[in-house]
Amino acid sequence: MRDTLDQPLWQAWSVGAHYARVRERTRLLAEPLSDADATPQSMPDASPAKWHLAHTSWFFEAMVLVPHLPGYRPFNPDFGRLFNSYYETMGERHPRPQRGLLTRPSLEEVLAYRAHVDRAMAELCAQGGGEAAATIIELGCHHEEQHQELLLTDILNLFAANPLRPAYRPDAAPDTPSSDPGAMHFQAFVGGNVDVGHDPADGCFGFDCEGPRHRVWLEDYKLGDRLVTNGEWLSFIEQDGYRDPLLWLSQGWAMVQERGWQAPLYWEQGPDGWQTMTLGGMRRLDPHAPVTHVSLFEADAFARWAGKRLPTEFEWEHAAAAMPLVGNFADSGPLAPRALQGPAAPVRQMFGDVWEWTGSAFAPYPRFRPEPGAAGEYNGKFMSGQFVLRGGSCVTPPGHIRPTYRNFFPPDTRWQFSGVRLAEDF
Amino acid sequence: MRDTLDQPLWQAWSVGAHYARVRERTRLLAEPLSDADATPQSMPDASPAKWHLAHTSWFFEAMVLVPHLPGYRPFNPDFGRLFNSYYETMGERHPRPQRGLLTRPSLEEVLAYRAHVDRAMAELCAQGGGEAAATIIELGCHHEEQHQELLLTDILNLFAANPLRPAYRPDAAPDTPSSDPGAMHFQAFVGGNVDVGHDPADGCFGFDCEGPRHRVWLEDYKLGDRLVTNGEWLSFIEQDGYRDPLLWLSQGWAMVQERGWQAPLYWEQGPDGWQTMTLGGMRRLDPHAPVTHVSLFEADAFARWAGKRLPTEFEWEHAAAAMPLVGNFADSGPLAPRALQGPAAPVRQMFGDVWEWTGSAFAPYPRFRPEPGAAGEYNGKFMSGQFVLRGGSCVTPPGHIRPTYRNFFPPDTRWQFSGVRLAEDF
Amino acid sequence: MRDTLDQPLWQAWSVGAHYARVRERTRLLAEPLSDADATPQSMPDASPAKWHLAHTSWFFEAMVLVPHLPGYRPFNPDFGRLFNSYYETMGERHPRPQRGLLTRPSLEEVLAYRAHVDRAMAELCAQGGGEAAATIIELGCHHEEQHQELLLTDILNLFAANPLRPAYRPDAAPDTPSSDPGAMHFQAFVGGNVDVGHDPADGCFGFDCEGPRHRVWLEDYKLGDRLVTNGEWLSFIEQDGYRDPLLWLSQGWAMVQERGWQAPLYWEQGPDGWQTMTLGGMRRLDPHAPVTHVSLFEADAFARWAGKRLPTEFEWEHAAAAMPLVGNFADSGPLAPRALQGPAAPVRQMFGDVWEWTGSAFAPYPRFRPEPGAAGEYNGKFMSGQFVLRGGSCVTPPGHIRPTYRNFFPPDTRWQFSGVRLAEDF
Amino acid sequence: MRDTLDQPLWQAWSVGAHYARVRERTRLLAEPLSDADATPQSMPDASPAKWHLAHTSWFFEAMVLVPHLPGYRPFNPDFGRLFNSYYETMGERHPRPQRGLLTRPSLEEVLAYRAHVDRAMAELCAQGGGEAAATIIELGCHHEEQHQELLLTDILNLFAANPLRPAYRPDAAPDTPSSDPGAMHFQAFVGGNVDVGHDPADGCFGFDCEGPRHRVWLEDYKLGDRLVTNGEWLSFIEQDGYRDPLLWLSQGWAMVQERGWQAPLYWEQGPDGWQTMTLGGMRRLDPHAPVTHVSLFEADAFARWAGKRLPTEFEWEHAAAAMPLVGNFADSGPLAPRALQGPAAPVRQMFGDVWEWTGSAFAPYPRFRPEPGAAGEYNGKFMSGQFVLRGGSCVTPPGHIRPTYRNFFPPDTRWQFSGVRLAEDF
């Protein structure tokens, strides 16, 4: 694949350069995985690595190459059915919970599929594909970056179900000394009429659900100056946070009882104290690192226990808009949340480390209209039963995040790198 | 019971008069029911009539009489366990799905329990109970009015499960001629910074979740000038509204398939056309009456099909705040939604007939803080996974509703009298 | 009803006398029940008392009166759908798990239905109904006796789910002193070629599945000379019988874990020791009385723990065939198993007290052929996944049982009065 | 591995020769599988191929090498937990439904584990292991042969869930011409007192549940002279066999409705007629070949529809005892049932092709006693809720079957190669 992707023709079209970079990154993420690793599905919410690799290629094949590259021949006509995710407009789909039974195509064949699509995309880019193609390619690149993050969260979930506790990358989440970040302080923000959401006039990409940019009224508010740590979470556990129903939303308390939640996902108490499963295998719990793998229900209960609350997504965005977009993302980082370090600042860890649960239900912005056609199925149809998370995580691809970026998951979700920032009123 | 409630001592205390009126109304609602009718639970979400009757009395016993009336002796010490609903602070509870197995106490004994509580409450009122008691009695009265509505929705659900289709009140939902309300028009409202929510300074009651009063920013918007009708819903059915996944939220489409939804709850297609189960038994469907017994998912899909959207709860409240608080409520009405009648007005049917689904998730208002103690469990803990409905219905007690009133149910709820008002952007 | 049933015309036809006696007994069994008591269904396996009362009447209406009494008018044409149990040949049925939602017809109306059927049956009997009618009436009487037993087991299950623990008959299961039955001995029986099963030539009734009479080969065997007691079961509990997987069938061990079985159904450990729910309400556990409300899985595990086994149904029948048909049945007895009393005998408690689980799966006898038509649906279609129980119980109607009688239930059944007799090999 | 297994030391001990042959056969069965193919679990009843390969090795490691080979070092101490199947005595087990998530160890590592065990077994055999070891090795070989068959049935189930419908062995189940076997005839057998079951005095192996040999009484009976064919099953389908509740056991009819059964498992109706998934991929249905992949419920319904019944396991065994032990087994055959061929005989296809459902529940024979220790967990604990199948199938290893052999599965099982032979009474 490399020879193709290195060709200067990608450069002829800025979207081509982006495409080549994203696709290469996906390939590198798959390198530590065997054919077997890439096959099973650890739970219905997760997908096999092979599926992520193929589905993102199918996206370009179905949305770009078939309509825009004359004479394009699909790699395998059956793949549409296998690797369509949820696009009802795009024909019959393989049932989601059975994705893990597709031992064929093999990982090797899926990589060949990727190369086939990449070659055709290079051809298209060389020709120049027009505005419509460029728009959908751009969407496809951001879509693929989302699946890059999911590939990692899903592999962690799969490996955590194996009593051998294999490591995705043995050097991930290293057991390095960290220091106590000290007490949390709350930084004040002035409210008023504030504009939020993505503005396409800025010229940078945003998913449909990030706009339209619109006005909201915010009261003055305060945000915690850092993320909640594992050590703070241990206090919550020790002070019976998981046993006091008054701390919990009613649905959350039902989950606690039904699923026996007593700590974040992947935490295990052993003879030598708490450990947690990471992309580097089992690791001693770092009390100074940000807590992760907690649900909205847990985040909300923790906030109530602490006498605080979760921020709304607009409080978060308003505060984040003025901050430098730096943090512990994938590639440069340990693929795990990291204890506070680096220069002092009024508010830290806003980007990277862990997705921050907000108290906002995922809902359409005023005047939101889905795109016509399959692209319109992107986000709008998930606007019930989900909460917004902001800021990206330690497995988010660098460059993928923005202050306006809205991630969303059901409130019982724990396998994502999701954590907590507190807020309070004046 | 009557002799007690008619005594002038109730009058000594304004809250006493309210209490007496509400309690008597509950008793009258139970009159058409046999001991058997009052016993089973048609589904986990519903409760037996007997349970509503006893639980509302338990509320006064546990929250008012035990703390505030010296020497009060509970009617039966076991009833606390049986008739506590969800107050985790108030001790062990009978499992909700087994409420329908309590053949004892009998309806007669439950009515005796009510009378026992009423006598003690009369005593307390005669003494004057102080501010704290008054506050909780007021809450108890509004709480009981909520259960009055639920008693009716739950009985309808129970009777609909009986192939004999019994009537709660044979004169309800009469088969009267109605006329076509004509095309729906959209009325414009001016947005801007708007204050919403309940203000206790107004001196009238509001549930905790209705406040604090706070500012929001609204864009200009339009609301449909009447409710969506059964006839319009038939067009949605006939034009494959229940078969087109692109109209539906993802969770909603899953419900359509899993539960086989093809029409609103209680609709049945017979040889002579559509019929629907009502509190008066099976009735021919009136195409001019407002549609009811639809879920948020159906309401949302209908709006998308119609090229419109659901209003937000604040758009609704802003529009409703200036309107007269009249409509088709219980007592005076047919216990069923009614075709448009009465004087022309820019926007009609805002109150009564059916609860109007909004597109707003049920969430805390800024600075919302639950009350300490059991009263604090009232609404806050349901603030995940639910949508707000506004305006009251044909089974809402008269006087119970307000422009700031927030009802809330999960988005798949159909057994409430829930319907649709459309909105659109400029 | 009494006036009808006392009329001498019943006497004109022996089947009429049986009918009158059985029907009157059912009516008496229902007397302690309120309309509410008779309505709910405590679990899908159980039925409401009202349903038992109506279904047994429907049997005579549909199987006898409609075909055999010219001009008979059904009491209510809807009742067929409501009260058909499982006869696929007899039209659409009300879903079994929703039987408990039928608050109408009321108990009073169901009793009127019974009277209506009784009057018509009296008329038919007065006319004399012919051989075919007599056969089906006889079946109907035995069928109704089965439902008499189920009515009691189902009421016990319902009342046990009520924290108030009401009594069906306060004088049932009295707390009388009992004495230790002493060690269990094993009585030898000689095997060989043995004939088992019901022989219609004897002139007495048998259900279809009791025949044809046929030959089996039995090895010599021994049976315990009495039933296993509560005291012996306590030893099983104390010696970790419910915690040792090696004692259990694989499906049984799954049940133990899934349902948390730690003792027989209805046992509760309180501050004053073990208690158990009975038809007389909560009672102190009598260590000398036979254990009851155990599943086949528990019976089998107990036998393995004791170094014994369960008898086969043919070992049981061969031994029972020569014994007097006496025991603790309903009517004369306490409606609860009773500690050993009465004259010494080689083997005791074979009939009455508790149904005895056998190790035999319920299967057709050689040459078994179901009757044509609806009567043929009687037993044959349950011949998978069930085990045979023998001997009748303390709630079996007197005269209902025979040595050839085969009761059958799935192996996890606990709400029947089922207990244990041990067997061993030579 | 081959060099080890070819060493003459295996020959020193007859059990060693058997061991070497069986182990080599398993290795060959795994050859067509990739690491991915060997990993997922298509349903909780099935196991991954890798699991079969490892579990059978664990059996020898835990039951033979650890106790009998001094100084043996387990390959990996974690493997016991991963690859124990159901031996409660042998420590904690990996949850059965999560077997498909074990992407590590890889297939390569599992094969290395097998080689490690084989080398140690060779060493043990060279030393000579004593009587106890020989007995358990013999059991282990037969156990491994059972897993050889399961490996094939489970792979077929996995591949059938893949829309690409891959072939395990492209030359399996070839599409060869076959001829109509003609009408089925029924062959008479004389009953009486008959001895059945395995007699260890014969010197050949039998599983515990095959004995003790004992006497039964059989009536005279007849057996169909061949297996039921696909063509006959098509008639059953076309004549509404799957739609007539009167043909079905009650549990079976529930399955038909719940799971939507309309044909045997793996049958699909396409534009060109019926096809079926095989180990060679999708194939045109051969109307002359024996039907397979039917449940006991379907077999029983078919028999009732045909006016016949299923044989009991003892009728089958009595008839089979005198027949030559030849048939369409694995290795020499097509890995699929085959239309009747070969020399005429009174009764044919008794062995091989498909397992024949009997009407007999799987139950212990008189005087059956499980072995002490883990080997005692072999079969006895499954003696509830299962039916006996006889005769072996087209994927049964040659030499594995005997007239006394009892296979058993729950009555809704369809993924085994299970078919139908009819019986009738005189």
Partner-chain residue, chosen from C300, C360, C367, that has the shortest CB–CB distance to D425? C367
CB count in 10 Å sphere of residue C89: 13
Q: What percent of chain B has pLDDT over 90?
A: 82
* D172 in any annotated domain: no
Query: Are chains B and D touching, using the cut-off of 8 Å on CB pairs and a minimum of 3 such pairs?
Result: no
Co-location of D110 and D190 in the same domain: no
Among D94, D126, D160, the domain boundary falls at: D160
ipTM: 0.94
Distances (CA, A) of D103 to A35, A105, A172, C410: 9, 16, 20, 39
Are B283 and B409 within one domain?
yes
> Are D88 and D146 part of one and the same domain?
yes
Q: How far apart are CA D131 and CA A387, in angstroms?
A: 66
Q: Is residue A177 part of a domain?
A: no
- pLDDT at B286 exceeding the cut of 60: yes
Q: Enumerate the residues of chain D whose CB falls inside 8 A of the CB of residue C409.
A: none
Residues of B in contact with A251 (CB under 8 A): 384-385
Q: What is the CATH number of the domain that holds D69?
A: 1.20.120
User: Is the Cβ pair A101, D162 closer than 8 Å?
Assistant: yes
pTM of the model: 0.95
Chain A, chain D: beta-carbon pairs less than 8 Å apart: 81
Where is the domain boundary, D142, D160, D178?
D160
Query: Has residue D173 been placed in a domain?
Result: no
Distance, in angstroms, between D376 CA and closest chain C CA? 9
- Whether B164 contacts chain C with CB within 8 A: yes
The residues with which B277 forms a beta bridge, in sequence order, are B282
Give the count of domains, chain C. 2
Contact D216 C216 (CB under 8 A): yes
Distance to chain A for D95, nearest Cα, Å:
10
Q: Does D70 lie in the same domain as D13?
A: yes
- Chain C residue with CA closest to B79: the answer is C164
Question: In this predicted structure, which of A255-264, A329-338, B75-84, B310-319 has the lowest mean pLDDT?
Answer: B75-84
Question: Which tens digit of pLDDT belongs to each residue from A347-404?
Answer: 999 999 999 999 999 999 999 987 776 666 668 889 999 999 999 999 999 999 999 9
Query: Does pLDDT of C74 surpass 60?
Result: yes
Judge if C269 and C121 occupy the same domain. Answer: no
* Domain end point (choices B145, B160, B175): B160
Cα–Cα distance between B313 and B196 in angstroms, integer?
10
Would an 8 Å CB–CB cutoff place A73 in contact with chain D? Answer: no
Q: Residue C173: inside a domain, yes or no?
A: no
Neighbour order of strands in the sheet with B387-390: B407-409, B387-390, B355-361, B418-419
Estimate to the nearest angstrom the gap between the alpha carbon of A66 and the chain centroid.
28
Q: Is there a single domain that holds both residue A154 and residue A190?
A: no
Q: Are residues B202 and B129 in the same domain?
A: no
CA–CA distance, C394 with C286 (Å, rounded to integer): 15
The pLDDT of residue C55 is above 70:
yes
Domain range for residue A415? 186-425
* C288 is a domain residue: yes
Confirm whether C105 is domain-assigned.
yes
CB contact at 8 A, B215 and B193: yes
Are both B199 and B333 inside the same structural domain? yes
Spatial strand order in the sheet of A407-409: A407-409, A387-390, A355-361, A418-419
Q: Which chains touch C (3 or more CB pairs under 8 A)?
A: B, D
What residues form DSSP beta bridges with A222?
A188, A424
Inform me whether the C-beta atom of residue B248 falls under 8 Å from chain A C-beta atoms: yes
- Among B39, B81, B98, whose Cβ lies nearest the Cβ of C36? B39
Task: Indicate whether A277 and A316 sit together in one domain.
Answer: yes
- Per residue, what are the HEC states of A35-55? CCCCCCCCCCCCCCHHHHHHH
Q: Are A81 and D163 within 8 A, CB to CB?
A: yes
CB < 8 Å to A107, chain D: 36
Of A42, A104, A107, the CB nearest to D101: A42
Nearest CA in chain D to C312: D366
Q: Please give chain D's pLDDT, 426 residues, in tens.
A: 334 444 444 555 778 999 999 999 999 999 999 999 999 999 999 999 999 999 999 999 999 999 999 999 999 999 988 898 766 666 667 788 789 999 999 999 999 999 999 999 999 988 877 888 999 999 999 999 999 999 999 999 999 999 999 999 999 999 999 999 999 999 999 999 999 999 989 888 999 999 999 999 999 999 999 999 999 999 999 999 999 999 999 999 999 999 999 999 999 998 999 999 999 999 999 999 999 999 999 999 999 999 999 999 999 999 999 999 999 999 988 999 999 987 788 899 999 999 999 999 999 999 998 777 666 666 888 999 999 999 999 999 999 999 999 999 999 999 999 999 999 999
Q: Chain D window 299-358: which residues touch C at a Cβ cutoff of 8 Å?
A: 300
Q: Is D193 on the interface with C (CB under 8 A)?
A: yes
Residue contact C81–B163, C-beta within 8 A: yes
Chains D and C share 3 or more Cβ pairs within 8 Å: yes
Q: What is the CATH number of the domain that holds B381?
A: 3.90.1580.10
Question: Looking at the DSSP assignment, which residues form a beta bridge with residue C41?
Answer: none
**Cβ–Cβ below 8 Å for A101 and D40:** yes
Instruction: Write out chain B residues lying below 8 Å of A300, CB-based.
Output: 384
* Secondary structure string (H, E, C) spanning chain C: CHHHHHCHHHHHCHHHHHHHHHHHHHHHHHCCCCCCCCCCCCCCCCCCHHHHHHHHHHHHHHHHHHHHCCCCCCCCCCHHHHHCCCCHHHCCCCCHHHHHHCCCCCHHHHHHHHHHHHHHHHHHHHHCCHHHHHHHHHHHHHHHHHHHHHHHHHHHHHHHCCCCCCCCCCCCCCCCCCCCCCCCCEEEECCEEEEECCCHHHCCCCCHHHCCCEEEEECCEEEECCCCEHHHHHHHHHCCHHHCHHHCCHHHHHHHHHHCCCCCCCEEEECCEEEEEECCEEEECCCCCECCCCCHHHHHHHHHHCCCECCCHHHHHHHHCCCCCCEECCCCCCCCCCCCCCCCCCCCCCEECCEEEEEEECCCCCCCCCCCCHHHHCCHHHCCCCEEEECCCCCCCCCCCCCCCCEEECCCCCCCCEECCCEEEC
Of the candidates B35, B78, B104, which has its C-beta nearest C35's C-beta? B35
Are A35 and D36 in contact (CB < 8 Å)? yes
Question: Same domain for C156 and C234?
Answer: no
Residue D205 and residue D88 in one domain: no
Average pLDDT over residues C182-187: 96
Query: Within 10 A of B344 (CB to CB), how many other CB atoms are there?
Result: 7
- Please judge whether A164 and D82 are an interchain contact, meaning their C-beta atoms are less than 8 angstroms apart: yes
Q: Is residue A63 within a helix (H) or strand (E), and if so which, with residue range?
A: none
pLDDT of residue C1: 34
A381 touches chain B (CB under 8 A): yes
Average model confidence (pLDDT) for chain B? 93
For residue B166, being part of any structural domain is answered with no
Kindly state whether residue D167 falls inside one of the protein's structural domains.
no
The partner residue sitting opposite A382, judged by closest CB among B250, B359, B364, is B250
Query: CB D101 to CB A38 under 8 A?
Result: no
Q: Under DSSP, is residue D370 helix (H, G, I), strand (E, B) or coil?
A: coil
Q: Do both A278 and A417 map to the same domain?
A: yes
Band of the pLDDT at C118, cuts 50, 70, 90? Answer: very high
Q: State the smallest CA–CA distance between residue D161 and chain A in angstroms.
A: 7
So what's the pLDDT on residue A365? 97
Residues C210-250: pLDDT tens digits?
Answer: 999 999 999 999 999 999 999 999 999 999 999 999 999 99
Substitution target from B381, B387, B409 for chain A, most A beta carbons within 10 A: B381
Residue C217 to chain D, least CA–CA distance (Å): 5
Helices C49-60 and C14-30 pack at an angle, to 10 degrees, of: 160
Cα separation, A155 vs A281, in Å, equals 11
Measure CA B61 to chain center: 23
